[in-house]
Amino acid sequence: MVNNKKRGRINKKIYFILFITVLIVLMMILISNFTVNNTYTVKTQGIKFSAPQRYKVGENQQVIMLKDGADEIDIVRHAVSSNDINEFIQSYEKDENIDINIVEEKALKNAILYNVTIQHMLDSKVPEKNYFLLADNWVYDISASSLLIYKDLDIVANSLEYIEPDGDITYQYITPTTFPTDNNWNKFKHPLNHFNFEFPSEWKLQVYKHRTGDQWYEVFLTDRDNKNLFRINFMTGGRGSPNYDYEINTEKILGDKLTKTIKHLKSL
C-alpha cells in the first residue's frame, strides 16, 4: 500500500516535470517565431508597409531599400503606360531575359498584389520569389537578396498599402486648383498666378513643387489614345513663366473672332 502511494507521488512528479518541459519548449518555439515589426510610410513613393524591426530603411530615387547586414529587400517603383500587369511582365521578360509566372493574385483596397516566380533563362537555379504591386499606373517590384529571408519578404509584401504619392525626392505633389468652364473643360490656375490655361476634363493634371525652391513648379497634362501617352509639360523657374527657348505668335480668324496663339518651344 505504501509503495503504491510512493509510486503515485513519483508519477505525479514525472508528469509535472514533463508538463513544464513541454510548456518551456512551446514558449521557446513561439518566441523564436515572433517578429516585432515596424510600420513605414514613404509618401514620395506612394506606399505604406511593415517590416521586421531589425531592418534599416532607406530611399534612393525610385528604390526603397531594407537592409540588415548582408540581407536586403528592395522595393523598386516602375512607371507603366497601362494597368495591365501582362504588358509589364512581357516587357520585363524581354529586357531581363527572364521567365515570370504569376502564382497568386490578391485584390487590395486600391491595388492588386501578385505573387510571382522569376526564372533566369541562363541560370538553372531554383526560381526566385518576387511580388508585384500594381496601382495607378505604377508597378512596385518587391524582391529579396536571399531565399533565407523569404519569410521577411512575405511580411513586407503582404503588408503593402498604396497611397497617393506626394511627388518624389525632388518634387512634392500639390493638389491643383481648377474651375469648370462653359465648354465642359477645366481651367487651371497656377499656385503663384504665373499663368493659367483650359484643358479637356478627361486629361490628367498633375502639379509638383520643388521641395527646396518656393518658385519652382512643374505642371503636367497627360492623356492616352490607343495606348499612346501624350504629355504637355509646363516648368516654371526664376523668371516665373513656362520654361522655353523661343516662341511663335500666330493670329487666325475663327468664325467671327480673332484668335491669338503663342507657342513656347524648347530647343533639342
Is pLDDT above 70 for 2? no
Looking at residue 72, what is its pLDDT? Answer: 95
Output the pLDDT for position 229. Answer: 64
pLDDT of res. 161? 94
Residue predicted with more confidence, 58 or 18: 58
Q: Is the pLDDT of residue 168 over 90?
A: no
Nearest to 242 by CA among 225, 262, 226, 224: 262
Output 93-96 pairs: Cβ under 8 A, ≥24 positions apart: 96/120
Average pLDDT over residues 18-32: 64
Range 178-185 contact pairs with CB under 8 angstroms and sequence separation of 24 or more = 178/205
> In angstroms, what is the C-alpha Rg of the chain?
29
Please name each of the domains of the chain with its CATH number: 37-162 (3.40.1000.10), 171-265 (no CATH)
DSSP classification of residue 167 = B
Query: How many CB atoms sit inside 10 A of residue 100's CB?
Result: 21
Q: Which residues contact 157 (CB under 8 A, 6 or more apart)?
A: 113, 115, 131, 133, 142
pLDDT above 90: residue 56: yes
pLDDT at position 140 over 50 = yes
Residue 147 has pLDDT above 80, yes or no: yes
State the Cα–Cα distance between residues 28 and 109, nearest whole angstrom. 37
Distance of alpha carbon 110 from the chain centroid: 12
Q: What's the pLDDT at 239? A: 45
Indicate if the pLDDT at residue 184 is higher than 90.
Answer: no
Residue 231 predicted with pLDDT over 80? no
Asked whether 252 and 261 are in contact (CB, 8 A), the reply is: yes
Average per-residue pLDDT in the chain? 81
Confidence band (pLDDT; 50, 70, 90) for 224?
low
- Between residues 195 and 66, the one the model is more confident about: 66
Mean predicted confidence (pLDDT) in 96-119: 93
Confidence bin at 177 (pLDDT 50/70/90): confident
Tell which wins on pLDDT, 171 or 151: 151
